[in-house]
Amino acid sequence: MNRKPNRNESLVLLLLLVAICATVAQAQSGRRQPKPPPSAPVPTPTPEPTPAPKQQQQKELDLGFVIGSDRFGSTTENYPISYYDAAMVGCADQLRSGSSAAVSVSQSNMSRGEAIKKAKAESKTYVVWMRLVLDQMTARSLDDLEIEFVVFSPQTAKVVITGRSYLNVNRKGPIIVGPTSRGPTGALYREELIRRAGEDAGERILKALHLDTPVLRQN
């Protein structure tokens, strides 16, 4: 016959149950909670470096040009001196406007041999040698004059570029030189054509030396 548990036994069982629950709860609370994954670091903006002076501009500041012409050669002795001046001034203006290089124009006559000698004596200055030529086979007048130019590199006098620039009435717009020019047949009109041909020579020289890239000017 089964015996019913008395009050004391029931109390003991209840106490054991309470003790077991408390132990389980303490064990649960003592467990280490997993740490949340670390958040991605916020990237710190890198300051942009201060732009260095352009190498192109520094290259130009380190070099120069001197322009001379053979005014008394056997094939050019009959041309007015002002024609040579116009050719050299046009070339010099283009070199100055298209680069930061120092440019000077020689006021004395310069033969090809003298141009080579001067280039060898220079350390950073290119020598631009010019002369006026007229093709006797095809020329009809002085309006067919051509500018022959050669650029010698400093120290070695190596030829950097050689070429001819032609008088072109359509280059860079109409020509207005004043009432005494006597239209397209006057001397002043022709000088302006020669000056513009000199500009063309200067532009080609800049391209040959890779100095035709626009640069920031220094005040």
DSSP 3-state of 3:
coil
Instruction: Give 141's pLDDT tier (boundaries 50, 70, 90).
Output: confident
Q: 38 or 197: whose pLDDT is higher? A: 197
Q: Give the domain extent around 139.
A: 55-208
Chain centre distance of CA 45: 30
Instruction: Give 136's pLDDT tier (boundaries 50, 70, 90).
Output: confident
DSSP 3-state of 14:
helix
Structurally, the chain folds into a number of domains equal to 1
Residue 113 has pLDDT above 50, yes or no: yes
140 in any annotated domain: yes
7 in any annotated domain: no
**Residue 59 confidence (pLDDT):** 58
DSSP 3-state of 152:
strand
Using CA atoms, how far apart are residues 205 and 185, in angstroms rounded to an integer? 29
DSSP 3-state of 199:
helix
30 in any annotated domain: no
**What 8-state DSSP symbol labels residue 8?**
H
Q: Are 144 and 135 in contact (CB under 8 A)?
A: yes
Q: What angle do CA 80, 84, 86 make, to 5 degrees?
A: 105
Residue 124 has pLDDT above 80, yes or no: yes
pLDDT digits (tens, 9 = 90+) for 176-205: 555 444 455 577 889 999 999 999 999 999
